[in-house]
Structure 1
Amino acid sequence: MNPEAPTEKLKQLFSQDPFAAKLGIELLEVAPGYAKTRLRLDGSHLNFLGFVHGGTLFGLLDYAFAAASNSHNYSAAAISMSVQFVSAPRPDGLLYAEAREVEKTRKLGLYEMVVREEDGKLICRSDGRVYRIGEPLVEGAKSNSSPLFT
């Protein structure tokens, strides 16, 4: 029996995230070391000043980060994340977040994330580091890479 490549199973698993669902975030793409998400903003994403809440943007970044960092079919937990807010998005805009793996070692991974509006305008950027726990997320599926990263 050939084990399935885990990407589709992982995408299905990541799509069950209750917090992302509550915010309305959609997972568009997952590949080894990469993820792309989308969020249509509405009044529930605003703060008391009428601007998009920083927690909404952080949640969008974090979800893309989580999908990208767990995309090798080995569990990884965030140990640090910093965010730089660049510009305010339109309160009713469409946002896209992308996370890309910059570096991976046996136990650590470094990721860069960005959020952009539909027209490409940069809203915020982030760097995050994960600790690789190493437990398979999808049993019976082959991994996208070795548990012992180089």
Structure 2
Amino acid sequence: MLDADKASRALGIELTELSEGRAVMTMAVSDLMVNGHDIAHGGYVFLLADTAFACACNSHGPVTVAAGAEVSFVASARLGDVLVATAEERTRYGRNGIYDVTVRRAGADGAVIAEFRGRSRTIEKNGEAG
């Protein structure tokens, strides 16, 4: 799945750890990701968290997609920061799952940048959730 994800590859997102129900990914904040306030645009932080979520919920095998997600931005990231997103499964029930992703700044301070909660749904072979 990740090999075919052109958006994540184009942003330099890298998978550093993958196990069942868990994924860790990194992304460096580039000059193209900084908004008018000179901080990382929230959409890029969300994209990193969403990609980690996707890898974690697809780690079980069946094709799984997002049914919904929300993010809370806690602190700002800046140009040059390396962000680390750690996605962890909280529960799976039927074809549904709940995953939490913490995005931190790499390095000594390890500041939390965002908290993300994703809800997953395993889809049928024809691509329909239901």
Which of residues 88, 103, 121 is equivalent to 2:76? 88
Larger radius of gyration: 1
TM-align CA RMSD: 1.2
Deviation at 1:17, TM superposition (A): 1.1
Deviation at 1:48, TM superposition (A): 2.2
Alignment match, 1:125 = 115
**In structure 2, how many angstroms separate the alpha carbons of the residues matched to 1:58 and 1:68?**
15
**In structure 1, what residue type is equivalent to 2:104?**
R
Alignment match, 2:128 = none
Q: Where do 1:59-98 residues align within 5 Å?
A: 59-98=47-86
**In structure 2, how many angstroms separate the alpha carbons of the residues matched to 1:122 and 1:134?**
36
**In structure 1, what residue type is equivalent to 2:85?**
A
Alignment match, 1:46 = 34
Q: How many pairs align?
A: 123
User: Could you give the per-residue CA deviations for residues 24-72 of structure 1, whole angstroms, max 9, x where no partner exists?
Assistant: 1111111110000001111011112211001110100000000000000
Structure 2 residues not aligned, in runs of 5+: 126-130
**In structure 2, how many angstroms separate the alpha carbons of the residues matched to 1:65 and 1:15?**
15
**In structure 1, how many angstroms separate the alpha carbons of the residues matched to 2:6 and 2:77?**
24
User: Could you give the per-residue CA deviations for residues 106-147 of structure 1, whole angstroms, max 9, x where no partner exists?
Assistant: 210000001000131100001110111255xxxxxxxxxxxx
Equivalent residues of 2:22, 2:59 under 8 A apart: yes
Q: Where do 1:1-150 residues align within 5 Å?
A: 13-119=1-107, 120-133=110-123, 135=125
TM-score (norm 2): 0.89
- Give the fraction of aligned pairs with identical amino acids, expressed as a percent: 33
2:27 is paired with a residue of what secondary structure?
Answer: strand
Equivalent residues of 1:97, 1:113 under 8 A apart: yes
Equivalent residues of 1:15, 1:26 under 8 A apart: no
1:73 is paired with a residue of what secondary structure?
Answer: coil
4+ residue runs over 2 A deviation: none
Q: 1:68 to 1:134 in 2, by over 3 A?
A: farther
